[in-house]
Amino acid sequence: MSPVPSACQPVADRVSALEQQYAAAAAQASAATGAQAWTSLAQAGGLLQQLDEARAELDACVKTHSAALIGTVAVIDAAGGAAAPRTATLWDLTGTGPIPAEIVEIQDGAFGFAGPLPAAAAVSLAPDRSADASLTGVDFRSGPLPQDLAGTQPQLEIVIPPKITISAQQLRGWVSTFKSPAQDLGHAGGVLGRLQATITAPALTFTAGAVRVAVTGTVTRAPGSPGALLGIPSSIPFSASIALTLAPATDPYRTDIVSVALAGQNPISLELPGVQQIVETILPLVAPFVADQIRTSLAGWINELVPGAIARGLALASLPASTQVSLRSLTVSEAGITVQPVLGAAGPLLSTFQPTTLPGQ
């Protein structure tokens, strides 16, 4: 039998003790008859169940602490929730996109990946979603790890603050920052020539589970286009409504905190007045432009807003430097968005943090 890692020795000792207790109970049952035998068998069965569980725990512990990459996780639950299972995922970043190379359970605050380890890798931690469907996000995302992982033992810390709500009013502050320079839409063909489009006056509304943005804008022809000779206006107004979904970002790169995506198969409705054949030509050019401009701009605003809102929810001016922010859950309602944040760090940053709180005045 291979040596037991020192971290697993207490479990190995418990297995040995249970083996001795079971052997004694089994011997006592074998030497008895009638009522005494059945009583002894009941005791032996209980001990055998404990022994099976202890052996499984020892096997998992040995696998974890004999792995190619071993990490530890310390959790500070400031929200007062019950302890819950978690998994750790090793991501392979060497290809065109992140691929989960290995997923293991976190046992007693430790995890181990058997390997082989990718040349470019990341690690994420996720809560057990089987008991709570609202936990669609993750607890930690490392971002790209150092290339030589062999022999490293990452020590991760996470803090789970209470849920916070970012109000719809705060989120609507995006409208005042929105800028849409005229963008070339390309050549529309025929008499229209090259077109440009500009978005103006976005308006943001929230409903249960969805975000909708209403905008107006204009499509203009490049100077010298022949459309003016045929009675086609040089500026054509349009209006649009874009449906968006918000969700916790789960990519191991930590690119964003909140993922903003177009909702459903028909996320944008767009109207242009005018000659129908011209509208049919312009619509395929304007719709993707509007959808991309709105999604990109709103995503940038929300991802800049979230860390400050989390900090204020903890009475801090800002989060500690090097803190990594992930979201376990995100819900949208008429009131705004409610998120369950998780703060993460590599090393003893969060467990030794001494805060300076915001003034009450």
pLDDT in tens, 235-262: 788 899 999 999 999 999 989 999 999 9
Compute the distance between CA of residue 199 and CA of residue 292 in angstroms, rounded to an integer. Answer: 11
pLDDT level of residue 232 (50, 70, 90 thresholds):
low
Nearest residue to 313 (alpha-carbon basis) of 159, 157, 139, 163:
163
Type and span of the H or E element at 332:
strand 324-333
Report whether 193 contacts 223 (CB < 8 A).
Answer: no
Residue 168 has pLDDT above 80, yes or no: yes
From residue 92, how far is each of 73, 103, 106, 116 by CA, in Å? Answer: 21, 12, 19, 10
pLDDT level of residue 151 (50, 70, 90 thresholds):
low
pLDDT in tens, 85-115: 889 999 999 988 799 999 999 988 989 888 7
Compute the distance between CA of residue 217 and CA of residue 236 in angstroms, rounded to an integer. Answer: 8
Q: What are phi and psi of 244, to 5 degrees?
A: -130, 150
Residue 84 has pLDDT above 80, yes or no: no
Pick the CATH number of 167-309 from 1.20.120, 2.60.40, 3.30.70, 3.15.10: 3.15.10
Q: What is the pLDDT of residue 313?
A: 94
CATH of domain 69-160: 2.60.40.1120
Query: Residue 161 has which token pair?
Result: 């603050």
Compute the distance between CA of residue 307 and CA of residue 138 in angstroms, rounded to an integer. Answer: 16
Compute the distance between CA of residue 72 and CA of residue 146 in angstroms, rounded to an integer. Answer: 17
| Lowest-confidence segment of 56-65, 152-161, 170-179, 204-213 by average pLDDT | 56-65
Look up the pTM and report it. 0.78
Query: Residue 264 has which token pair?
Result: 């459903």
pLDDT level of residue 345 (50, 70, 90 thresholds):
very high
Compute the distance between CA of residue 106 and CA of residue 88 in angstroms, rounded to an integer. Answer: 6
CA 19 centroid distance within chain: 44
From residue 127, how far is each of 100, 332, 346 by CA, in Å? Answer: 16, 21, 18
Q: What is the CA radius of gyration of the chain?
A: 29
Q: Which residues pair with 204 in a beta bridge?
A: 213
